[in-house]
């Protein structure tokens, strides 16, 4: 009980502390929107996020980071962040979810971060992709990853109180999803295709008032864990299954002890009921608005902070004096 109370007390302000990290990442990356330089935009976000994270009072470990797939020198899997004080916290970061969206100046690029009690996040580092199905709390009990998509749409639409013709499924725009898209439309539902930005679309599917009712298809496995933290806050549900893309990846994944045929539920992806999810918009999107750079050197950000323990979802608009932000970063070695 003592440990639970400490985490709750830390969690009271931890979400806002972590929001400062996503805000910093968004402010740094936003300057690169539409400039065709996704690596430079991502690096700017990583540097800014890391500088803030290391000031947060926590004993944090990056479980889901830039990692092997992105060949990142910082915020990589296993890296320690925070001051080393307080609770042990598992951290999942994506300083730019949608680097291509950022480079092209397109919608739905966000800076995102999730947290949970130490030792509770699933670590899918051996397998880059997973099959996913995400819905809101209304449809959480009716979906089945092994069922035809038409059945899932019909049951979820009924649970949402909608006609199938009003139902919208978010799908990553990839050739591998051509048949899935045909099946969704044949069922009578509409699709919302997105180029990148797996986390934003998944969270939008579980957020009331957003024009996506379900996310389906194959996307990044690290993003699936981040999504699970958000589902704990929203009451939604993610079902997933690892999806190796080569025989070698399947072999390595199996040798590491992962069952590639197992259906993973929300609780399998994050075992704690104490999670945080934070996102700040870089470009405008369905979930949050993008950074606005204002005359006089100021900027405005729009963020969402979710906390599972209290069930609160806070939408935060903040104005930043960039001269002070930059001076602070320089004084802290970033």
The answer to the question of whether 250 is labelled as a binding residue is: no
The answer to the question of whether 84 is labelled as a binding residue is: no
The answer to the question of whether 293 is labelled as a binding residue is: no
The answer to the question of whether 99 is labelled as a binding residue is: yes
The answer to the question of whether 122 is labelled as a binding residue is: no
The answer to the question of whether 196 is labelled as a binding residue is: yes
The answer to the question of whether 198 is labelled as a binding residue is: yes
The answer to the question of whether 70 is labelled as a binding residue is: no
Burial class (CB in 10 A: 0-12, 13-18, 19+), 195: middle
Q: Nearest to residue 125, comparing CAs of 253, 251, 268, 228?
A: 253
The gap from C-alpha 96 to its chain's centroid, in whole angstroms, comes to: 10
Q: Where are the alpha helices (DSSP H) in 161-307?
A: 178-186, 198-205, 221-234, 247-255, 266-269
The answer to the question of whether 129 is labelled as a binding residue is: yes
Helix and strand counts by DSSP (H, E) for the chain: 11, 13
The answer to the question of whether 42 is labelled as a binding residue is: yes
CB 11 within 8 A of CB 276: yes
Question: Which residue has 């480079």 as its token pair?
Answer: 103
The gap from C-alpha 309 to its chain's centroid, in whole angstroms, comes to: 19
The answer to the question of whether 175 is labelled as a binding residue is: yes
Instruction: Count Cβ neighbours within 10 Å for each residue of 249-286 and write b for 16 or more, e otherwise.
Output: bbeebbeeebeeeeebebeebbbbebbbbbbbbbbbbb
Q: Which residue ranges are tagged as binding site for Mn(2+)?
A: 42, 66, 94, 97, 223
Q: Which residue ranges are tagged as binding site for substrate?
A: 97-99, 129, 174-176, 196-198, 220
């Amino acid at each position: 009980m003592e440990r639970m109370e400490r985490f709750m007390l830390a969690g009271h302000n931890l979400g806002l502390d972590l929001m400062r990290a996503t805000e910093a990442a968004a402010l740094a990356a936003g300057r690169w929107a539409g400039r065709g330089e996704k690596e430079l935009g991502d690096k700017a976000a990583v540097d800014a996020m890391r500088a803030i994270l290391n000031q947060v009072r926590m004993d944090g470990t990056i479980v889901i980071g830039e990692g092997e797939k992105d060949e990142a020198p910082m915020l990589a899997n296993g890296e320690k962040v925070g001051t080393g004080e307080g609770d042990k916290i598992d951290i999942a970061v994506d300083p730019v979810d949608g680097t291509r969206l950022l480079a092209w100046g397109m919608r739905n690029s966000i800076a995102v971060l999730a947290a949970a009690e130490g030792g509770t996040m699933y670590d899918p580092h051996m397998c880059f992709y997973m099959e996913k199905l995400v819905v809101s709390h209304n449809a959480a009990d009716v979906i089945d990853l092994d069922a035809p998509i038409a059945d899932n749409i019909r049951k979820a639409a009924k649970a949402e109180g909608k006609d199938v013709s009003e139902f919208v499924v978010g799908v990553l725009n990839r050739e591998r999803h051509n048949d899935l898209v045909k099946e969704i439309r044949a069922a009578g539902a509409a699709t919302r295709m997105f180029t990148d930005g797996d986390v934003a679309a998944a969270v939008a599917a579980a957020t009331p008032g957003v024009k996506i009712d379900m996310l389906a298809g194959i996307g990044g496995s690290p993003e699936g864990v981040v999504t699970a933290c958000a589902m704990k806050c929203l009451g939604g549900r993610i079902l997933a299954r690892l999806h190796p893309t080569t025989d070698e990846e399947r072999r390595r994944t199996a040798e590491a002890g992962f069952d590639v045929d197992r259906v993973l539920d929300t609780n399998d992806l994050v075992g704690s009921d104490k999670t945080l999810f934070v996102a700040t918009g870089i470009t405008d999107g369905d979930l949050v608005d993008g950074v606005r750079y204002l005359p006089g050197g100021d900027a405005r950000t729009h963020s969402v902070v979710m906390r599972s323990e209290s069930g609160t979802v806070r939408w935060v608009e903040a104005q930043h004096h960039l001269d002070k932000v930059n001076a602070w970063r320089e004084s802290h070695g970033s």
